[in-house]
A and B are shown apart, each in its own frame.
Chain A
């Protein structure tokens, strides 16, 4: 699991006392002022609990403060908010009951899978409801003839591939947390992974979903058959970060396992020739299944953590994976090896079997956690630049790091320009955490400057809300809000995430009385 060590709040940290200003959107109050209407909001969560008593089993309704606190963060662990209530439904009907109870009481809810997300997308709303889907983990059907599987949202990503393997099939999206993260979370975040350069993202592999809308209605989006009639609502639901509803049953496409897989690892004197190699590979017409790059600092960390035995003295390590029919892969491998050598690669290694392949990947897969060996704390960033400007992006990140007096280890999906700079800091040093966060933010500025994106796969969540307005204009964001308002007119599904200025939709639906809690808290304006 790749969670940032980050700053761990003190034992007294609770919801409503956000660990940093960035958490303000999820909390009931902002700026440290007095918390408004605490009793009323607690009453909201209590009302939902009451409404669900007898509908959900008693053990599926958590109200004990100690147990609630275990749901107070996701992988962005320096932001913590204790929810007012946690429910653990096991069926679509139970999810629907929970959402309906929230809708009737006007209480916001946050859906949660394994909580491995790195952008705070599953951060609870103070005194709101967390709907945890971890008990919905049945694989309902694997159909090799139609190449689909139907699964519940709490199924772990790799479990789908395990169930499909006997038929020579697998589920292609492979986020690095895939052994623990759930398909429901993958759908919410449109997860990618190391192999999405060739095989695409979650959205390219989800065919249909049963969705509980924020109004409590249950609809089918998409279809097991291609080209369902009507608007492609599933296409925008995937990646909407839980703001459009909760998927309770998901039909995924299964991919034929390739006949041949070749994994190649090469040491380079520096990052630039390694990045240039990736561009040359792509220019030669080869689309690798994966092209991963680590700089010297990241390699040093991985070496310290897992002893991966990467080429000693390398200024950068490039890992390339090719898959497909044997003849195709053999030709491409020769070409890639030649391009690596031509760009100054030394110590080329090719995996001869599965265990060697795993060994080559071990350093890369452990990289995030490994930086814990060389730094007390770190901040994982996720940004995208056009592939051809990777060297320039790294130079600029290096210069920013130097100016901030901080070290940055770089691990990235070089094939698609997706950077994961790891900003190293020591939280014990006063101001270091803030400096790291500032640096991480400036790195996003570099990504946007170079024509890229503020997030390639971790999502906006609460972490990057403020930066979304740098990537998109007010009009762009307003039009996105049209969609949210069509799905969730009362703004109850994961409010305070994704959009920098949460706004209401101008339609007071349902039995809610008085002002919306977000409006009261000064976090929303009427739209």
Chain B
């Protein structure tokens, strides 16, 4: 339903809210109260919530809503005491800016998603993660407390600002990965970690199945890598990147052990380096879509192999990044992929999803920003608890006004 002029006027009149005209108009609240006032407005309009717009999450695009709420000006640091290893910030703060602040005190949020330009709220809403997930988990494991504004403008906290706390329901878990469909994240508290004084990567040339075996060998030797990522085209030639962090002496010692363990798996000479960068898809592999694969550790290589074979006509054009110690992989598909209705995507995805289902795995389609959508259901078959998920959505957002249809099953 198009936004009425009366609602537009009301939004313009709200204090502490900047409005960028357009269709849909974008509102930028600068305080939590202002955000609550926007959502508390009685008008019957739908809302899309955006941060820095860096994510490639599936579902309905944000432009389909009546009003876009941009959290970019809710970006204050609320409290940070390095001695506590806890930081609180507003949701619109970019992850990179928070990391710069923490780094001044030799600390970090142990979270390294692809885009650190993204906002903290976006990181939580998409459940983002990077290679450090192996050691530190996802944002789910580091979020301590959350203040959210519900669809009716109600401001509600859960969790707290201390690392240990079991009082009340931990709704931060529920908001994590919910793509903004249950509430608008306003303030977030995270546990942070000391920045290790030294870090070294060991890049071992090998195929994906060998990488899985090598990662397991390194794990069994209890060398505790911080990350174990396989990068390469398709699932053949590529490299396993193992990250070791700690004191300089310990890292050198462990790197030596890892190098020895890697020898039988390597197809070339392993290299070590201290670069903060990690391999990125070749420029030619500019993507139209990504497939996010998840499987138990022992099934990941198999699921990747089948997906590459089934979903890519030119396997060498697929860029794979696989967290082999975690059980997740991202396949970046080239723009040149056929995307018409008869391109066979539905069938191909169904086949690999059927393969993954018995062991609880999943294949989710992320759409590249601005790119054409794949003519396929991004999620696959609904999970067992879908009726319960719908009941939760109905309680939190009875009119389904927040990020409508962004989530699975039209939630």
Contact = CB atoms under 8 A, between A and B. Distances in A.
Given A203-B170, A230-B383, A327-B253, A225 B360 contact: yes
Interface in A227-256: 227-233, 235-236, 238-240, 256
B314 interface: no
Interface string A132-160: 00000000000101111000000000000
Given A226-B328, A230-B389, A256-B222, A478 B82 contact: no
A413 interface: yes
Of A143, A227, A483, the most chain B CB neighbours within 10 A belong to A227
A147 B166 contact: no
A229 B380 contact: yes
A297 B144 CA distance: 33
B388 A282 contact: no
Contacts of A60: none
A282 B247 CA distance: 15
A468 B168 contact: yes
A396 B167 CA distance: 22
Interface stretch (A10-18, A30-38, A48-56, A216-224): A216-224
Interface string B229-256: 0000000000000000011011001100
B162 A476 contact: no
A83 interface: no
Given A145-B297, A482-B395, A233 B162 contact: no
Interface stretch (B7-15, B91-99, B189-197, B335-343): B189-197
B367 interface: no
Interface of A: 143, 145-148, 168, 189-190, 192, 196-197, 200-201, 203-204, 208, 213, 217, 219-221, 223-233, 235-236, 238-240, 256-259, 279, 282-287, 324-328, 330-332, 384-388, 413, 416-418, 451-460, 464, 468, 471-473, 475-480, 482-487, 498
Interface in B152-208: 154-158, 160-171, 173-174, 176-178, 182, 193-197
B169 A240 contact: yes
Interface string B307-335: 00000000000000000001110000000
Contact of A451 (B161, B223, B253, B385): B161
Interface in B358-411: 359-362, 364, 379-380, 382-389, 391-396, 407-408
Contact of B392 (A223, A233, A238, A240): A233
B362 A456 contact: no
Contact of B356 (A225, A385, A460, A484): A225
A384 B389 contact: no
For B164, B171, B386, which residue has the most chain A Cβ atoms within 10 angstroms? B164
B395 A478 contact: no
B106 interface: yes
A501 to B, nearest CB: 13
A457 B155 CA distance: 26
Nearest to B84: A386
Contacts of A483: 169, 171, 174, 392, 395
Interface stretch (B17-25, B62-70, B288-296): B288-296
Contact of B162 (A203, A452, A472, A473): A452
Given A146-B298, A486-B391, A327 B167 contact: no
Contact of A220 (B216, B364, B384): B384
B388 A486 contact: yes
Interface residues of B, number: 88
A479 B156 contact: yes
5 contacts: A190-B170, A236-B171, A240-B169, A480-B168, A482-B392
A328 B254 contact: yes
B253 to A, nearest CB: 4
B224 A325 contact: yes
B396 A230 contact: no
B351 interface: no
Nearest to A479: B156
A113 B266 CA distance: 49
A279 B194 CA distance: 13
A302 B84 CA distance: 30
Which of B162, B163, B167, B178 has the most chain A CB atoms closer than 10 A to its own CB? B167
Contacts of B156: 473, 475-476, 478-479
Nearest to A240: B169
Contact of B389 (A201, A204, A231, A479): A231
Given A256-B220, A325-B222, A331-B249, A231 B167 contact: no
B292 A219 contact: no
B354 interface: no
Given A228-B383, A233-B389, A483-B171, A453 B297 contact: no
Nearest to A480: B169
B86 A232 contact: no
B164 to A, nearest CB: 4
Interface in B60-92: 81-86
B110 to A, nearest CB: 11
A37 to B, nearest CB: 30
Contacts of A484: 169
A324 B85 CA distance: 20
B165 A229 contact: no
Contacts of B174: 231-233, 235-236, 483
Contact of A388 (B81, B197, B384): B81
A225 B295 contact: yes
Given A230-B408, A384-B165, A325 B223 contact: yes
B141 interface: yes
B219 interface: yes
Contacts of A223: 294, 360-362
Contacts of B102: none
